[in-house]
Amino acid sequence: MNLAMGLCSSLCIVVCPVVQGWLDTGHMLVARMAQTQLEEAHVATLEDILSSWSRDFPGMSSFVSSAVWPDHIKCTNSKAPACLGLPATSLNAFDTWHFVDLDYNPDRVSIDDAQHPYQNPSAVWALRQAMSTFSSSQSTFAVNFMLRMAIHILADLHQPLHAAQGVFNDTRFGDVLGDRGGNLIRIQSPWKELRSLHLFWDAAGGLFLDEWPLVPEVELRQNASEIMRAFPRSSLQELNDTETSCFLRNDCGRVFKKWAIQVHEVAVKFAYHGVRANETVSEEYIAKVRRISKRQLALAGYRLADLLAVVVPFLQISSDRSGLSDRPWSLWTRTDIYTQALVALCSLQFLLLLLLGSLLCKGLRAKHRDRESLLEAEADRFVQLQR
């Protein structure tokens, strides 16, 4: 989330972990649940697009596995456990796409809004950009990139601490001018790797700790089925499967903002209550985090399915990957009549220039021959006079 303001902001750049979102299992569960809700033809289209990057990102180019790609492109060390088998991509330019800043300030601490380092880009902004790409892009590269981002970011947006920025001055959390979604709130838990409030929620209260590529497919399917049985569509009051028709009106920004506000309210109601900084989380709190996390994962899975069901039929890229069709920089990826007319006009102009050049050269050669004939005649007349 937001870097803490003032001096804490500067220190946080050095010592705070990067905001990650649900751990890999959580992201793959959301994609898996969405996959089961989509038509087979839609899934086949998505698989076809995403597979075009399988050489550069092996094991992360299916519909389900691509969900973890936006976190792993941050890798700076290909030998790190979470980066094994991948190039050290070192792409951190998209970090702010994973969350949205909505302050939770129960102690009414004075905040200088001008000190907030990030407003946009945000998760809401990034999802809007993805919708714009899906509605108009004819580039396989662009659609592939934004599909990976949208699948991941929509899930991130449903992790409560990706929609909350805690500001506190109390005995529970201390003086915190922006907790980066709980990253600055240190806790104790039964899992040694879960030492911040944010990471505790990323792991769904210790339920899902496996990271790619150590997520068993069988276990993934079982967990997805279990979550959907526990939280069917009918049990989620905020789920509205007609909302995603906003894509057809190019008006999804308000829907994504609404989702962010709903998730923020979950964070305010559940994430910051029943826990204290530097203390061990209770069994009651663990059970609560697990229950809420499963519900949020289910909600994200259903919403992702609903959104892609509307988006996929309108994708304008060709399934033909031959020749120049994969190259977004190539003029020939454009098929609109205006571009074709421009190419034809330029070709015609070139041919006319060649014709004019040929005629000009022919005229100059004829004039040169006439002059040579005249000079020869003058030379002959001069020779005759000399005689």
Say if residue 356 is exposed, middle or buried (CB neighbours under 10 Å; 0-12, 13-18, 19+). exposed
In a domain, residue 327? The reply is: no
Query: What's the pLDDT band for 376 if we cut at 50, 70, 90?
Result: low
Pair 28, 166 in one domain: yes
In a domain, residue 263? The reply is: yes
Structure confidence at residue 110 (pLDDT): 83
Pair 79, 221 in one domain: yes
Structure confidence at residue 387 (pLDDT): 53
In a domain, residue 324? The reply is: no
User: Mean pLDDT for the chain?
Assistant: 83
Query: What's the pLDDT band for 378 if we cut at 50, 70, 90?
Result: low
Structure confidence at residue 52 (pLDDT): 94
Query: What's the pLDDT band for 119 if we cut at 50, 70, 90?
Result: low
Query: What's the pLDDT band for 369 if we cut at 50, 70, 90?
Result: low
Per-residue pLDDT tens for 252-279?
999 999 999 999 999 999 999 999 999 9
- What residue numbers bound the domain in which 305 lies? 6-314
Domain boundary among 258, 284, 314: 314
Between 174-178, 202-206, 316-320, 325-329, the lowest mean confidence (pLDDT) is in 325-329
Res. 185: pLDDT tops 80: yes
Mean pLDDT in residue range 159-175: 93
Per-residue pLDDT tens for 284-321?
999 999 999 999 999 999 999 999 999 999 998 865 55
Structure confidence at residue 22 (pLDDT): 78
Pair 45, 189 in one domain: yes
Pair 277, 362 in one domain: no
Pair 270, 344 in one domain: no
What is the three-state SS of the chain?
Answer: CCCCCHHHHHHHHHHCCCCCCCCHHHHHHHHHHHHHHCCHHHHHHHHHHHHHHCCCCCCCCCCCHHHHHHHHCCCCCCCCHHHCCCCCCCCCCCHHHHCCCCEECCCCCCCCHHHCCCCCCCHHHHHHHHHHHHHHCCCHHHHHHHHHHHHHHHHHCCCHHHCCEEEEEECCCEEEECCCCCCCCECECCCCCCCEHHHHHHCCCCCCCCCCCCCCHHHHHHHHHHHHHHCCHHHCCCCCCCHHHHHHHCCCHHHHHHHHHHHHHHHHHHHCCCCCCCCECCHHHHHHHHHHHHHHHHHHHHHHHHHHHHHHHHCCCCCCCCCCCCCCCCHHHCCCHHHHHHHHHHHHHHHHHHHHHHHHHHHHHHHHHHHHHHHHHHHHHHHHHHC
Q: Between 16 and 366, where is the model more confident?
A: 366
Q: Between 55 and 360, where is the model more confident?
A: 55
Pair 269, 345 in one domain: no
Mean pLDDT in residue range 91-97: 90
Structure confidence at residue 46 (pLDDT): 97
Pair 293, 353 in one domain: no
Structure confidence at residue 329 (pLDDT): 35
In a domain, residue 142? The reply is: yes
In a domain, residue 320? The reply is: no
Q: What is the CATH number of the domain that holds 308?
A: 1.10.575.10
Structure confidence at residue 282 (pLDDT): 97
Pair 161, 15 in one domain: yes
Structure confidence at residue 247 (pLDDT): 94
Task: Count how many domains the chain has.
Answer: 2
Query: What's the pLDDT band for 241 if we cut at 50, 70, 90?
Result: confident
Mean pLDDT in residue range 181-191: 95
Mean pLDDT in residue range 33-37: 98
Query: What's the pLDDT band for 361 if we cut at 50, 70, 90?
Result: confident
In a domain, residue 43? The reply is: yes
Structure confidence at residue 362 (pLDDT): 72
In a domain, residue 328? The reply is: no
Structure confidence at residue 240 (pLDDT): 92
| b/e map 24-53, b = 16+ CB within 10 Å | bbbbbbbbbbbbebbeeebbebbeebbeeb
Q: Between 289 and 345, where is the model more confident?
A: 289
Pair 269, 146 in one domain: yes
Structure confidence at residue 358 (pLDDT): 74
Res. 238: pLDDT tops 90: yes
Between 177-181, 184-188, 212-216, 226-230, the lowest mean confidence (pLDDT) is in 212-216
Pair 306, 341 in one domain: no
Contact, 257 vs 172, CB < 8 A? no
Mean pLDDT in residue range 181-208: 95
Pair 120, 194 in one domain: yes
Percentage of the chain beyond pLDDT 90 is 58
Q: Between 39 and 74, where is the model more confident?
A: 39
Structure confidence at residue 10 (pLDDT): 35
Pair 361, 291 in one domain: no
Per-residue pLDDT tens for 217-230?
889 999 999 999 99
Res. 280: pLDDT tops 50: yes
In a domain, residue 323? The reply is: no
Mean pLDDT in residue range 127-135: 96
Structure confidence at residue 326 (pLDDT): 42
